[in-house]
Amino acid sequence: MRFSSQTSVALAITVASLAESRPSPSSTDARRTGRRWLPSADKIRGVNLGSSFIIEPWMAGDEWSSMGCGSSNDEWSCVQSLGQDAADAAFQKHWQTWITPDDLKEIQSYGLNTIRIPVGFWINEDLVNSGEYYPKGGLEYLDYVVGNATQLGLYVIMDLHGGPGSQFPGQQYTGHVVDSPGFYTADNYERAYKFLEWMTERVHTNSAYFNVGTLQVINEPVHSGDYPSQAADMVANYYPNAWTRIRNREAQLNVADNNKLHIQYMAQAWGSGNPSQNLPDTTFAFYDDHRYYKWDTSVTATQDGYISAICSDNRGGSDTIVGEWSISVADDVQYNSEFDIKNTDANNDWYKKFFAAQVHTFEKSGGWVFWSWKCNWIAGFNEWRWCYKSAVDAGIIPKDAASVASQSPC
């Protein structure tokens, strides 16, 4: 759906009408007694809206080039290269078309109940410092996507995916690829706290955000093995203060206990330390586990090796969500005869098993959110191993997500 002046009016009407059309709590429906309800299914089953509000050129190459950003490595460098006005126009076109109401309806039609929305702190433009280069105008489109998700009954995880100063070096998902992570300072923590407070208030006061039930305080921070002082400082200071700032804002808003947000941290398996060790409370804490077998060098990179590793895996309890995963395999084998999808369909049956085995394992925990819903022409072809929509179209992922675990080779 393309935005125009008429569409902008429709957007305002749609968001305003959500107060009347949003789901109503019911004493006979336990999952709707407050904001902390989870989908009617007992497991999270969802997709990330990757490259929507933080574009990662590796997975959206054609889109990136069409915006005039082809030689840029991240959003920062694209805005810097094009200039603010031209960049804002290019990003506006992207936001209009990358995720549409039809995408959300299709997501729902596949038996999925959740979307995770990666956003950068800069979607709150008041938090951007002079000399920083980020696109402007994304909030209107975020409101629109979230509002449509609420109308469809999709649960929403709001994820601070790109933090001030960039929380991990060399990564496009931060919005600014840096050599050394700059997030771990008092000033940047404060900007992140202000983002979390602002988003908390938006969730509780804007009807479009009724189905936002989880707020993730930071995506994929540094590992303690590579950046021990930064990781330790984050666990000791940023994590507990983020909790306190969110809960204090909810207290100021007189939010009832049964309507408070789940607050989500990267799970201990991510490698930054124990996220809960300094939290003032862990009631309704969630943990985000990103499980990419592709990059686990302890897994034997054969068809049998992957399935064996998955079926014996344990990712945690019901408070752990596998918030990112894919059906991609190790780079050095992805085009060999056992795994190739570029030149043959011979391995399709195995990829169906690969997907089903992961669903089976992740649903032993709280559920899963696939990375990602949509991408375009990774490595010059339709690389559906990263793209849920394309994998469904290819017949690899079935159209009923709830049916998948029972098909597992485990």
- Taking each helix axis from N to C terminus, what angle separates 84-97 and 138-152, rounded to the nearest 10 degrees? 10
Burial class (CB in 10 A: 0-12, 13-18, 19+), 201: middle
Catalytically annotated residue among 75, 197, 220, 383? 220
- 220 is a catalytic site residue: yes
Beta bridge partners of 29: 26
Residue among 73, 135, 45 at smallest CA distance from 98: 135
- Residues 217 and 145: their CA atoms lie apart, in Å, by 20
Dihedral Cα 202, 207, 209, 210, nearest 10 deg: 120
| Angle ∠(62,85,117) on CA atoms, nearest 5 | 55
Calpha distance 218→215 (Å, rounded)? 9
Q: Which of 56, 63, 197, 324 is catalytic?
A: 324
Residues 141, 123: Cα–Cα separation, whole Å: 10
Catalytically active residues, by annotation:
220, 324
